[in-house]
Structure 1
């Protein structure tokens, strides 16, 4: 699948989107981070989306007219907490839409964590003006995976 983001819209997630958003997260994590050990089972991830992320956080979905939910983004104040795309929908500008929306929602700045092994994410965020400000050994995250703190300030 190539081309632009034709027929993709971004909107706030509804309770009925939780399962699809969790499915995108699970597929994207498996494709992008195959060597990273997940601390939560698939069922726990689905429960987290249903019980926490969709009802209690600022969760957004990208929805394609012909494919349903193809991306998910979670904001928590100035923290870009989650940004995952269905693997087959990467490279179509959906991540760009999400980052533009995140910057609009948090005009004073944004911060996020990404794993050190996720070099495509580093390139993506740096292209959007984020700067790496800290690297850790992963002791502070659930996965125990070395990570990088990125910050964007207007």
Structure 2
């Protein structure tokens, strides 16, 4: 990666940019999944709930701004989104390494069954699929899969 990217804890001023990364990433990676919330709803949730209440990290690229978002809730890696232009540059690897440092006892996460690139990514990092659902437990009503990593 030629660009300088810093992973750091998010602050309130990062919420808007983090929400925009989420929206661009979701739309690019999951074009067949209907989001359960409007763009403004996502922005408000990240601003009012995620950044102030959860362990939220951003990837900030010099001269570009926020290009990635990761949210941890205890041992749950609840969100990992990269700006589509920044995929394949090692940021996801850095976020997962950080998540493992922050959750050395193990991690769990959910991803949609249609997101095969995410499956390959997490499996490459030692996560194992342990549960498949019909999606009735998530807001999008989209079949999903739970992954677990144990050291």
Length-normalised TM-score, structure 1: 0.97
- Contact 1:60/1:73 (8 A) holds in 2: yes
- Distance in 1 between residues matched to 2:139 and 2:54, nearest whole Å: 19
1:62 aligns with 59
CA deviations over 1:112-135 (Å, ceiling 9, x no partner): 000000000000000000000010
Structure 2 residues not aligned, in runs of 5+: none
Structure 1 runs of 4+ aligned residues shifted over 2 Å read none
2:35 alignment partner, one of 35, 38, 42: 38
CA RMSD of aligned residues (A): 0.6
Structure 1 residues not aligned, in runs of 5+: none
1:148 aligns with 145
- Contact 1:5/1:94 (8 A) holds in 2: no
- Distance in 1 between residues matched to 2:19 and 2:10, nearest whole Å: 11
CA pair 45-5 structure 1, distance change in 2 beyond 3 A: farther
CA deviations over 1:53-90 (Å, ceiling 9, x no partner): 00000000000002100000000000000000000000
- Secondary structure at the residue paired with 2:32? coil
1:120 aligns with 117
2:3 aligns with 6
- Secondary structure at the residue paired with 1:108? coil
- Secondary structure at the residue paired with 1:74? strand
How many residues get paired? 151
